């Protein structure tokens, strides 16, 4: 196996969008492939024609792209592979490893009810197993499973798992409507796509012995299996909507950075000492299945948001501007100047936990403002008129509107009036932003620029006069 290239896969069913659990599975497969210079395959398992939708597929693919989980092959679509499945079914039939079963649904239901009534585990009784039946309307194809012995595999996370073959039914591979079953499709796909590592959630662990029997019947190599522990919410209950956002798209819309989400996902079952913050490159370098534990991973949105603020703090101005722009546009800002967005973002970088927070807090730079009612009453008072008018004159005379220049203008202004900055800082802040909280007054003046500052200060003066 040593010289063989590692090939992993992510096979989402587009019956929903991409959620934390699926994204974690995708990430672990991607990291394992990237760490080992292997290949990562994307396959859309859309055999459930009723519940699979095109828009879910698009969201899944968009979410993968946003997370940066690029694939080397695919996306394959199971719905386009029925010919291949049929070939494999024929192969199993011709080698005697599968057979046609004509039992009706009514008959199977009755036998099932009888077994349950006797307290037995319902199981197909093998009635058609040796009848040598051919195809017929209503017939299904079943796997001729071994009746004795055990199926054993060494899960790369959970250790050795063994199950008596007598527990495993002659499972249906092809339904009477001609559609292929999940276990058969997955084995045919994994086998024909050269997948040699299957890393997936442990909700699939019961399928693994069944899939191994199909590999054996097809006489194909069996991949390594790693079943990842469950994901719980902070209350240790299975992660669900009750715990808040769980879809990748929701986190994107919330203004979480992809690398922050990847970092949180990586920690759901995997660890590297006590280290908590990893760049994506570090994850690739350090990832191994040996460090995937058996204990459930706890997903905590609050922690993700805290982590996100750390990643925001490290972003350079250009990326900040690129990342913030779509959020501002979604909030109705248009004709945005890139330099202004960059400047605005930098003033808010240290105080924003998400890009959405940042966009909301920076709206005063880009849209008309309204004064917070209480702040207006308390700070925009008539006694300040002369001071503010004088300040307006000084600012109109400013040759440049850099922070350093503004500071000089203010030092002179305060000295001339014999007042402290405190006296005018809040009135000025409200005049410029409408609010009592904002980044430093000189920072915001520089980003707003001279024309906008003069206009807002003049507006505030008129507003006070009209009170
Ligand atoms: N399509 C399956 C799912 O979304 C995954 C099957 C597998 O990993 O084998 O749960």
pLDDT at 280 over 60: yes
Residue 75 C-alpha to ligand 1 middle, in angstroms? 14
Ligand 1 neighbour 223 (Cβ under 6 A): no
User: Mean pLDDT across the chain, nearest whole number?
Assistant: 96
* Helix (H/G/I), strand (E/B), else coil: 320: helix
What percent of the chain is predicted at pLDDT more than 90?
96
Closest Cα to atom 9 of ligand 1: 186
Strand partners, 232: 238, 298
**Model's pTM, two decimal places?**
0.93
For residue range 295-346, list pLDDT tens digits in order: 999 999 999 999 999 999 999 999 999 999 999 999 999 999 999 999 999 9
The finding on whether 184 has its CB within 6 A of some atom of ligand 1 is no
Res. 245 pLDDT band, cuts 50 70 90: confident
Phi-psi map region of 68: left, alpha, beta (phi>0 left; psi -120 to 50 alpha): left
H or E segment and range at residue 172: strand 172-174
The total of other beta-carbon atoms located within 10 Å of residue 112's CB is 14
Q: Does 45 sit in the ligand 1 pocket, CB within 6 Å?
A: yes
> Alpha-carbon Rg of the chain, whole angstroms?
32
Question: CA dihedral in degrees (456, 459, 465, 466; nearest 10)?
Answer: -140
Q: Quick one: how far is CA 234 from the chain centroid? A: 18
* CB of 204 sitting under 6 A from ligand 1: yes
What sign results for the dihedral spanned by CA atoms 316, 321, 327, 331?
Answer: positive
List pLDDT tens digits, range 391-438: 999 999 999 999 999 999 999 999 999 999 999 999 999 999 999 999
CA distance 2 to 371: 68
Catalytic annotation on 241? yes
pLDDT value, residue 436: 96
What single-letter DSSP state applies at residue 270? B
Substitution candidate for ligand 1 out of 204, 214, 223 with most atoms within 8 A of CB: 204
Nearest to 323 by CA among 345, 343, 307: 345
Domains along the chain with CATH numbers: 1-76+229-313 (3.40.50.620), 82-228 (3.40.50.620), 315-366 (1.10.8), 373-465 (1.10.10.350)
Provide mean pLDDT across the span 257-267: 97
Q: Is the CB of 11 under 6 A from ligand 1?
A: yes
User: How much is the pLDDT for 244?
Assistant: 86
For the chain, the first-to-last Cα distance in angstroms comes to 82
pLDDT at 2 over 70: no
At 350, is the secondary structure helix, strand, or coil? helix
């Amino acid at each position: 196996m040593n010289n063989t290239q590692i090939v992993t896969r992510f096979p989402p069913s587009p019956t929903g969008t991409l959620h934390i659990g699926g994204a974690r599975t995708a990430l672990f497969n991607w990291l394992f492939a990237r760490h080992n210079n292997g290949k990562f395959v994307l396959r859309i398992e859309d055999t459930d024609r009723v519940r699979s939708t095109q828009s879910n597929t698009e969201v899944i693919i968009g979410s993968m792209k946003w997370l940066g989980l690029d694939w080397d092959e695919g996306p394959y679509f199971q719905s386009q592979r029925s010919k291949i499945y049929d070939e494999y079914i024929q192969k199993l039939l011709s080698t005697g490893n599968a057979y046609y079963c004509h039992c009706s649904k009514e008959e199977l239901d009755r036998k099932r009810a009888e077994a349950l009534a006797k307290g037995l585990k319902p199981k197909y009784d093998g009635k058609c197993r040796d009848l040598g039946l051919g195809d017929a309307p209503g017939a299904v194809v079943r796997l001729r499973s071994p009746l004795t012995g055990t199926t054993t595999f060494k899960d790369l996370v959970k250790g050795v798992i063994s199950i008596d073959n007598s527990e495993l039914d002659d499972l249906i591979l092809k339904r009477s409507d001609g559609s292929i079953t999940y276990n058969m499709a997955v084995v045919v796909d994994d086998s024909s796509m050269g997948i040699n590592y299957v890393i997936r959630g442990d909700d699939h662990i019961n399928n693994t012995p069944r899939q191994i029997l199909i590999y054996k019947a097809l006489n194909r190599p069996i991949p390594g299996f790693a079943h990842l522990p469950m994901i719980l919410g902070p209350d240790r209950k299975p992660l669900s909507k009750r715990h808040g956002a769980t879809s990748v798209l929701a986190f994107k819309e919330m203004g979480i950075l992809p690398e922050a989400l990847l970092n949180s996902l990586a920690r759901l079952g995997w660890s590297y000492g006590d280290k908590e913050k990893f760049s994506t490159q570090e994850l690739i370098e350090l990832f191994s299945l040996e460090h995937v534990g058996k204990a459930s991973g706890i997903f905590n949105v609050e922690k993700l948001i805290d982590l996100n603020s750390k990643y925001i703090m490290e972003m350079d101005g250009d990326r900040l501007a690129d990342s913030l722009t779509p959020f501002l546009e979604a909030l109705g800002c248009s004709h945005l100047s890139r330099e202004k967005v960059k400047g605005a973002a930098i003033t808010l970088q240290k105080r924003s936990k998400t890009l959405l927070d940042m966009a909301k807090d920076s709206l005063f730079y880009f849209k008309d403002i309204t004064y917070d009612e209480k702040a207006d009453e308390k700070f925009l008072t008539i006694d300040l008129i002369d001071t503010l008018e004088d300040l307006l004159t000084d600012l109109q005379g400013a040759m440049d509107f850099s922070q350093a220049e503004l500071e000089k203008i203010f030092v002179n202004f305060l000295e001339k009036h014999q007042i402290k900055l405190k006296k005018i800082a809040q009135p000025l802040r409200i005049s410029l932003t409408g609010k009592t909280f904002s980044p430093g007054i000189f920072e915001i003046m520089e980003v707003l620029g001279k024309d906008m500052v003069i206009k807002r200060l003049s507006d505030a003066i008129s507003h006070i006069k009209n009170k």
